[in-house]
Amino acid sequence: MGRPREDDEDQWWRPPWETDDDAALKPPGPPPLRKPAAEPDHTHPLLAPLARAQDAVARLEARGGAAAPAVAEGLRARMAYREAAGWLSHAHIWIHPQDLALRDAGLTGSYGVAAQAGRLEGELPATAAHGSDFDVPPSDLAVDQALRLARLWRRLAEFRTWTPLADAAAMREMLQSLGCRGAVADAEIGDWLALVHVREQGPALIRAGHAARDWMNRPHATEPLMPDGIFLAACLWREKGFGRGISLPFWSAPEQRHHRLAPRVGIEWMAGFLDCVAEAARTSAGELDRLQRAEAKGRLLARTARSRLPGALGAILRAAIVTAGSLAKDLDVTPQAALGLLRQLLEAGIIREASGRASWRAFVVA
């Protein structure tokens, strides 16, 4: 019996060593003759965006993991505020990440009250320095939610024991912490969790993008500008074994990338999602460069064996905003001694003043 033609898929080739008795033991309806697998399509529209995103994120993870602990911690702190500021800009509220850090540290108050008192620019010094207009004060509710996003983004990067997708209760608690308004039905959460755990094939970034889109496309989703969908993607990406030392960057990408993504669907949306991840990772890599330059410059400062300068440098690298009071607490020195250390770092060009006022001064890495 010869091999059937390739177009005759209802027949099955019987090897010459098989007897009639052997053939009789086989179940009826043998499978059709399988054709050779097709060559992989190297022109798929997602291959290039996926490669760029994976490369950018992997480089950032590797560099962050190899950096000094103070630099790695400082990178996470600054990335968290950049992510929060990026989400706000997508919601048409433009605030510099540095001003979000001032607000989070309790160094500035309500923007609405400041606007009524005519001192809004003083509450948003970095934003004002970049030429933003303040015809309408930023929403305090939106800023509060952005700071919630920053805290959870950093928590996801730093606490491996936190598993927000462990079950429906953990996910509901995370959504509430994120400040999502309105209750999400248990059925919606359960359906989404079942769907994302069914998808066990494919690259983690693609699956994370699908998870975000599925959440944003659920029937009762009414607020497309909420940050929950992208944060759920970051949670799933971390759950699949990635994000050791950082959370998935997305909102740190340039604002126009997010606006360009909004009207897209299908493969075009996924390509835009991957593009945002790649650009956000590159932005974060630039932040890491800045911190490492400051670290290298600080090592050149003259110091004695009992000098507190190394500790002061470590504190300014770890925190997005430092004051004399916070530095004194970190180093267990007097506020006057902390102010003297800050003055030395200021004169060396390692830090600069960020609050724009004579009292309650705050400093950031230059």
Structure confidence by residue, pLDDT tens digits, 228-254: 999 999 999 999 889 888 999 999 999
160 is a domain residue = yes
- Out of 240, 256, 287, pick the residue that ends a domain: 287
266 is a domain residue = yes
Q: Same structural domain for residues 314 and 210? A: no
Mean pLDDT of the chain: 85
Cα(88)–Cα(139) distance, rounded to whole angstroms? 10
Structure tokens given for 176: 């509430």
Q: Same structural domain for residues 251 and 151? A: yes
The pLDDT, as a whole number, for residue 206 is 94
The pLDDT, as a whole number, for residue 358 is 64
Angle at 106 between CA 105 and CA 107, to 5 degrees: 95
Alpha helices in 262-334 (DSSP H): 266-298, 309-318, 324-331
For the residues of 235-264, what is the DSSP string, one character each? HHHHHTT--SSSPPP-TTS-HHHHHHHTT-
pLDDT at 281 > cutoff 60: yes
The pLDDT, as a whole number, for residue 4 is 42
Residue 226 C-alpha from the chain's centroid: 15
- Of residues 163 and 44, the one with the higher pLDDT is 163
15 is a domain residue = no
The pLDDT, as a whole number, for residue 243 is 84
pLDDT at 327 > cutoff 80: yes
Cα(130)–Cα(121) distance, rounded to whole angstroms? 11
Q: Which residues are CB-contacts of 332 (< 8 A; sequence separation ≥ 6)?
A: none
- Of residues 53 and 44, the one with the higher pLDDT is 53
115 is a domain residue = no
Per-residue pLDDT of 136-164, as tens digits, reads 899 999 999 999 999 999 999 999 899 99
Q: Same structural domain for residues 266 and 182? A: yes
74 is a domain residue = yes
Q: Same structural domain for residues 311 and 239? A: no
Identify the weakest region by mean pLDDT among 9-18, 36-45, 128-137, 206-215.
9-18
Q: Same structural domain for residues 208 and 322? A: no
The pLDDT, as a whole number, for residue 7 is 44
239 is a domain residue = yes
CB 113 within 8 A of CB 191: no
User: pTM for the complete prediction?
Assistant: 0.84
Q: Same structural domain for residues 215 and 320? A: no
Angle at 187 between CA 181 and CA 191, to 5 degrees: 105
Q: Same structural domain for residues 155 and 203? A: yes
Structure tokens given for 69: 């602990």
**Nearest alpha carbon to residue 237 among 271, 213, 203:** 203
CB 143 within 8 A of CB 111: yes
Structure tokens given for 170: 């953990």
Average pLDDT over residues 59-67: 95
Cα(278)–Cα(57) distance, rounded to whole angstroms? 7
Cα(215)–Cα(354) distance, rounded to whole angstroms? 38
Average pLDDT over residues 99-117: 93
- Our count of domains for the chain comes to 2
The pLDDT, as a whole number, for residue 259 is 87
- Out of 287, 309, 334, pick the residue that ends a domain: 287
Q: Same structural domain for residues 152 and 270? A: yes
Q: Same structural domain for residues 182 and 303? A: no
Identify the band that residue 3 occupies on the pLDDT scale cut at 50, 70 and 90.
Answer: very low
CATH number for the domain that contains residue 330: 1.10.10.10
Q: Which domain holds residue 162?
A: 47-93+139-287
The pLDDT, as a whole number, for residue 221 is 67
Residue 364's SS3 state is strand
352 phi/psi in degrees, rounded to 5: -145, 160
Q: Same structural domain for residues 360 and 318? A: yes
Burial of 202 (0-12, 13-18, 19+ CB in 10 A): exposed
**Nearest alpha carbon to residue 91 among 212, 222, 225:** 225
